[in-house]
């Protein structure tokens, strides 16, 4: 894999915090963002030593603004400013400076002048063995496309002047990516001095605001980072893959976590990875159950038709079964979805891929006689096991109890609320580690604020995960259930399900006004319909949902989440009051 680099501006904290985080996540290099340097109290020499001690190099100093196509009267000041920055770069020990296309109102629309001035600047850089990477900002005054910046670089024709390509600036403007790729791939690779990578969601807004607030790491957004990177690498470009991501959330999140997320995105994009083995369903979900929650969760499972069929040989873990749905209750842990296991064609390869993608491996939880379950930790701490076949069931001694019901026949999906600043990281983690792809996404107004939801699934939909997050980090007002989680169970006949929270009559009346007769939550898509019921929340986080999919409905009923949340809150308040 190519060298990896990250701009200091991607991370939160002082410059020192950021450098440490980049090194700890295994980056080879950093781009030093000028504002981060200017605010730092350490001298350039101290920063240079620190970077070297951390095993990093500084591969770029950036940005240098409003350099080219300046009115001649201002150009002398530009040259003096560049000289000062080249001095600074010598002290920092870096040799490449990014010049971004001018935005100043006095910029002249004259390619010949731009080329001439950039050649002058390149001469100054070359005198010190340095070089200039020229980048077209998408909102540049006269130069706003990479083709235009290349035209000027070609015209200036100096060996110390090359291009900086930034995926955001190229892809945010490109209407037809594939055409751009052909042209990009025909560039001489040695004239590309630097490659910056950023993804982004597709937003219909001012491109400058989009760029400054909403960039994401590769594969977290909707730009075609894979195609773009392939095209640039096809030129023979041999420099680093460097991340330059301006993101409101990352700017205030723990930089060590963000740096790992960032590094994972580059590995997923360009690394040589173990292919993701085929997954064949959710083997089990494991709930932590504290002393208070145990009886209520057991009662809910029994009412849903589950039987307590097994007891773990060495741990306080119960196995509950009904048809293919298997749930473990792990006594003594906080009440939450603590773990889940996926059926993998090759558990060892699944775990190897996870480790290549910087998943934190978990210590094995086994004794000699027990099955060797391979597990990694997801960003929110959930343990993900990979198993093959039913061998893991041998760790449980039969209780003698057997399931007699078949109202529930499988786990349909798991819903995992994510901490506010780890949502994009979690989505990338599950997508890349498990080789899954995005399914339905939703945004809805919950009683205590807007929520976003994203479902991720494997090809045959045997594994589905739904991630949710509040749009804003919640304050004190939002009550009770900060990170709800649920196990969604599949039934063939939802009329057989009892023990669930009443669906509000106002909701049922609204369905009727729309011509739908149902007393459950209801949704439909082009393929079929969906009915949903749900239990009260146990403890502060966990509940069960039961769904029936009719005629190949593919969604998750996200639009009903606010109704479900309000009904659960009503039920909580009523049962707290009524006993």
Binding-site residues for Mg(2+), please?
A: 413, 486, 545
Give me 333's structure tokens: 């842990």
| CA distance linking residue 293 with residue 328, whole number of Å | 14
Contact characters 164-203, a copy of itself, x per CB under 8 A: ---------------------------------------x
User: Is 73 one of the binding residues for a copy of itself (CB under 8 A)?
Assistant: no
| CA distance linking residue 259 with residue 277, whole number of Å | 27
Binding site feature residues:
135, 166, 196, 244, 413, 486, 545
Among positions 88, 234, 273, 393, the unique one binding a copy of itself when judged by CB under 8 A: 88
Indicate the burial class of 389 (C-beta count within 10 angstroms; 0-12, 13-18, 19 or more): exposed
Among residues 59, 62, 61, 425, the alpha carbon closest in space to that of 242 is found at: 59
Residue appearing with tokens 């842990």: 333
Q: By C-beta, is 255 or 277 nearer to a copy of itself?
A: 255
User: Is 420 one of the binding residues for a copy of itself (CB under 8 A)?
Assistant: yes
Contact characters 203-242, a copy of itself, x per CB under 8 A: xxxx--x---x-----------------------------
Among positions 248, 394, 401, 405, the unique one binding a copy of itself when judged by CB under 8 A: 248
Strand order in the sheet with 485-491: 437-446, 449-457, 464-470, 408-417, 485-491, 542-550, 529-534, 521-524
Residue appearing with tokens 């196990």: 487
Write down how long the chain is: 579
Q: By C-beta, is 16 or 356 nearer to a copy of itself?
A: 16
| Smallest separation (angstroms) from a copy of itself to the CB of 167 | 21
Helix or strand or coil: residue 426? helix
Q: Kindly state the helix (H) or strand (E) to which residue 165 belongs, with its residue range.
A: strand 161-166
| CA distance linking residue 550 with residue 534, whole number of Å | 18
Among positions 505, 526, 576, 577, the unique one binding a copy of itself when judged by CB under 8 A: 505
Contact characters 428-457, a copy of itself, x per CB under 8 A: -----------------x-xxxx-------
Binding site feature residues for a divalent metal cation:
135, 166, 196, 244
Give me 106's structure tokens: 């006095």
Among positions 368, 402, 477, 576, the unique one binding a copy of itself when judged by CB under 8 A: 477
Among positions 72, 272, 476, 526, the unique one binding a copy of itself when judged by CB under 8 A: 476
Q: Other CB atoms closer than 10 Å to residue 235's CB: what's the count?
A: 18
Among positions 173, 452, 474, 483, the unique one binding a copy of itself when judged by CB under 8 A: 474
Give me 568's structure tokens: 């659960």
Q: Which residues contact 249 (CB under 8 A, 6 or more apart)?
A: 420, 421, 424
What is the contact surface with a copy of itself in residues (CB under 8 A)? 9, 12-15, 34-35, 37-41, 43-44, 77, 80-81, 84-85, 88, 203-206, 209, 213, 248-249, 251-255, 420-421, 445, 447-450, 470-478, 502, 504-507, 509-510, 512-515, 562-563, 565-567, 569-570
């Amino acid at each position: 894999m190519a060298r990896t680099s990250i701009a200091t501006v991607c991370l939160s904290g002082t410059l020192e915090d950021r450098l440490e985080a980049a090194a700890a996540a295994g980056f080879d290099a950093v781009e030093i963002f000028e504002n981060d340097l200017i605010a730092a109290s350490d001298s350039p020499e101290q920063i240079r030593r620190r970077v070297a001690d951390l095993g990093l190099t500084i591969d770029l100093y950036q940005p240098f603004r409003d350099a080219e196509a300046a009115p001649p009267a201002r150009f002398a000041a530009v040259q003096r400013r560049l000289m000062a920055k080249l001095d600074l770069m010598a002290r920092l020990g870096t040799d490449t400076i990014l010049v971004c296309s001018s935005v100043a109102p006095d910029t002249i629309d004259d390619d010949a002048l731009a080329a001439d001035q950039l050649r002058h600047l390149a001469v100054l850089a070359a005198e010190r063995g340095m070089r200039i990477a020229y980048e077209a900002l998408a909102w540049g005054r006269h130069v706003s496309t990479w083709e235009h910046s290349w035209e000027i670089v070609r015209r200036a024709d100096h060996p110390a002047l090359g291009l900086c390509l930034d995926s955001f600036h190229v892809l945010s403007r490109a209407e037809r990516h594939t055409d751009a790729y052909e042209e990009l791939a025909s560039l001489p690779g040695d004239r590309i001095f630097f490659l910056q990578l950023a993804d982004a969601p597709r937003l219909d807004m001012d491109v400058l605001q989009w760029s400054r607030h909403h960039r994401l790491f590769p594969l977290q957004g909707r730009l075609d980072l894979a195609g773009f990177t392939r095209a640039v690498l096809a030129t023979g470009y041999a420099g680093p893959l460097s991340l330059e991501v301006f993101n409101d959330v990352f700017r205030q999140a723990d930089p060590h976590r963000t740096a790992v997320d960032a590094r994972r995105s580059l590995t997923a994009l360009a690394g040589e990875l173990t292919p993701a083995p085929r997954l064949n369903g959710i083997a089990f979900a494991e709930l932590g159950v504290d002393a208070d929650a145990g009886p209520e969760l057991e009662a809910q499972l029994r009412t849903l038709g589950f039987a307590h069929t097994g007891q773990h040989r060495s741990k306080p873990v119960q196995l509950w079964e009904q048809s293919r749905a298997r749930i473990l209750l792990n006594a003594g842990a906080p009440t939450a979805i603590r773990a889940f296991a996926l059926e993998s064609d090759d558990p060892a390869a699944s775990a190897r891929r996870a480790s290549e993608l910087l998943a934190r491996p978990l210590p094995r939880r086994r004794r000699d006689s027990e099955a060797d379950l391979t597990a990694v930790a997801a960003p929110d701490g959930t343990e993900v096991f990979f198993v093959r076949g039913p061998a893991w069931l041998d760790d449980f001694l039969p209780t003698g109890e057997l399931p007699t019901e078949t109202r529930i026949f499988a786990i349909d999906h798991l819903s995992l609320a994510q901490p506010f600043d780890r949502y994009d990281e979690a989505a990338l983690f599950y997508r890349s580690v498990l080789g899954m792809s995005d399914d339905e996404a939703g945004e809805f107004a919950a009683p205590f604020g807007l929520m976003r939801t994203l479902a991720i699934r494997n090809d045959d939909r045997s594994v589905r995960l739904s991630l949710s997050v509040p749009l804003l980090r919640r304050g004190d007002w939002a009550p009770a259930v900060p990170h709800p989680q649920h196990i969604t169970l599949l039934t063939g006949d939802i009329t057989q399900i009892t023990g669930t929270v009443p669906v509000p009559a106002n909701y049922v009346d609204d369905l009727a006004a729309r011509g739908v007769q149902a007393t459950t939550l209801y949704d439909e898509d082009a393929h079929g319909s969906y009915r949903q019921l749900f239990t009260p929340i146990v403890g502060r986080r966990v509940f069960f949902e039961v769904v029936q999919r009719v005629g190949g409905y593919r969604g998750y009923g996200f639009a009903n989440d606010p109704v479900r949340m309000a009904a659960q809150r009503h039920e909580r308040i009523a049962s707290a009051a009524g006993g």
